[in-house]
Amino acid sequence: MSVNQIGFAILGAGMVARYHATAIERTAGARLVAVGRSDPARAEETAAQFGVPCITDYAALLARADVNAVCICTPSGLHAEQTIAAARAGKHVLVEKPIALTLADADAMIAACEQAGVRLGVALQRRTEPEFQRVQAAIAAGELGQLVLGSMSMPYLRLQSYYESADWRGTWALDGGGALINQGIHLVDLLLWLLGDAAEVRATAATLTHAIEVEDCVTATLRFANGALGSITATTAAAPGFPHRVEIYGDRGGVQIEGEQVVRWEGENRAPRTEEPRTREPIAAGAGASPTGIGAVGHTRLLEDFVTAIRENHNPLAPGREGRRSLALVLAVYEAARTGQSVQPG
């Protein structure tokens, strides 16, 4: 391996690990050197699939000198222990969302990486979309004026077979919840990134169509620290699956995002649109209809940013503390739904 390359190991060999492998392959200065998997019976198959050695002992994986960074793609309930071990071994960590299942675990992960002097990034790849970055910069610059309303809507579909594909899916112990923490946390992060911290949450959750122990449908109303109001709706029971939406409104303009596109952006400094909205082709459901309904471009941009953060010794675009913030809101929604009371995110 070239001294200019950063050696990555991927822990976990499921669906999302393939996105990370593709991103590493496409990123200059990065190289996949190993994959970690706990099942020895599938080690040979996994090595063939990824084209690198499969290590079944995590301590041995972390001991490798050619591993500089670890992509953690295991069930969410394992993220904290594995991240802390990687940090103590001096490895940078890019962990899949959610960062962890409790705020105490997220705090321990952040502290471990800070103490070890390694970077901690969270796979919240929608922050890498250039148009979303322009929207965020415009909102931060005050182009929408006083922010008054924000919402996210996620009408996804996941079949029962999806939850039965792995014994950790749809469980509190390892998945941490259902529609909101697994799929919706990406949009929660986007909402918070654009609108700012939430100060108060009320919520209702239910399991309507799936045989799982966690929610497949949740609604929440929010009050943000800046005074704006908001809402969250998320489900994995909306057939056949529809694109998500994120909307932000102020007293001088607003932005509507559908899927991965900004479909309307109005404001004092925006030129009027000339196209007729009714002629626009419907936006594909993408991840709304299938867990594989996303491309690799977001993970690739995320990996490129993470490599730059390591080389230049600064935080990545979605550092651990930002992953904690989205987790805090999700957990507040769950607590509000459980208690029927308003909750302040931790």
Query: Could you state, in order of their start, the residue ranges of all structural domains in the chain?
Result: 6-126, 129-296+326-339
pLDDT in tens, 257-313: 999 999 999 987 675 554 444 446 789 888 998 888 888 999 999 999 999 999 999
Whether residue 329 contacts residue 198, with contact meaning beta carbons closer than 8 Å, is answered with: yes
Question: How far is C-alpha 58 from the geometric centre of its chain's CA atoms?
Answer: 24
Token pair 């070239």: residue: 2
4: pLDDT confidence band, cut at 50, 70 and 90?
Answer: confident
pLDDT (0 to 100) of residue 275? 45
Whether this prediction's pTM lies above 0.85 is answered by yes
Rounded-to-integer distance, Cα 43 and Cα 56, Å = 7
pLDDT (0 to 100) of residue 280? 61
**Whole-number mean pLDDT of the chain?**
95
pLDDT (0 to 100) of residue 255? 98
CB proximity list for 284: less than 8 A, separation 6 or greater: 243, 259, 293
pLDDT in tens, 55-110: 999 999 999 999 999 999 999 999 999 999 999 999 999 999 999 999 999 999 99
| pLDDT tops 90 at residue 200 | yes
Domain 129-296+326-339 superfamily per CATH: Dihydrodipicolinate Reductase; domain 2 (3.30.360.10)
* Angle, CA of 173, 178 and 182, to the nearest 5°: 90
Would you say domain 6-126 falls under CATH 3.40.50.720? yes
Instruction: Identify the bridge partners of residue 154 per DSSP, sorted by sequence position.
Output: 234
Rounded-to-integer distance, Cα 128 and Cα 136, Å = 11
Fold: same for 6-126 and 129-296+326-339? no
The sign one gets for the Cα dihedral 54, 60, 61, 64 is: negative
How many Å is the Cα radius of gyration of the chain?
A: 20
Whether residue 266 contacts residue 143, with contact meaning beta carbons closer than 8 Å, is answered with: no
CB proximity list for 318: less than 8 A, separation 6 or greater: 121, 122, 123, 124, 125, 127, 189, 302
The backbone torsions φ and ψ at residue 120, rounded to the nearest 5 degrees and listed phi first, read -125, 115
